[in-house]
Amino acid sequence: MDGGVREERALMRIAAVLVTLSMLAERSADRAFPVRILALVVLRWAEAVARAFVEEVTATDWSCLDDTAETGAGPLAATRLAVRFRLLAAALDLYCAARRSAWPRPGLGACAEAHRRRAADRFAVLSPRLSARWRPLACDTF
């Protein structure tokens, strides 16, 4: 159980870094164009790495976020990137919550493995539903 606690702490720290990157993307939306484009280049690379990590850890498909061929450097692109970082952080938090409920507790005995499987199955069912429903909306007010 100690290894699971350490792994959860590490994942929650990674989620905190993702939220920090989200805040950086939000702040870059208000900056001048040269600063914003430089920040977006670095943040897009970080988002691709973070998405691959979250896919590997949660063992889910995030193909709804594969439209990374964006080349825009406007404030809307920065905001969209911030939303993606927050979505990845929320996915890690959901994964940790599912694993936390699946940890064996003293006194469960033979039911611990079945409980762990049920919690993992709940996450496997919930995650594709979330990723299939979420689509970034185009903003036509600009």
- Tens digits of residue pLDDT in 7-45: 888 888 999 999 999 999 999 988 898 999 999 999 999
Given this model, what pLDDT does residue 74 score?
86
Question: Would you say residue 135 has pLDDT above 70?
Answer: no
The predicted model scores a pTM of 0.67
Question: Would you say residue 67 has pLDDT above 90?
Answer: no
Q: Residue ranges of the domains in the chain? A: 2-133
What pLDDT digit, counting tens, does each position of 73-112 carry? 888 889 989 999 999 999 998 888 887 765 555 555 556 5
| Beta carbons of 90 and 16 less than 8 angstroms apart | no
Given this model, what pLDDT does residue 85 score?
93
Given this model, what pLDDT does residue 105 score?
55
Q: How confident is the model at residue 1 (pLDDT cuts 50, 70, 90)?
A: very low
Q: Cα–Cα distances in Å, from 78 out to 24, 44, 57, 81?
A: 9, 9, 26, 5
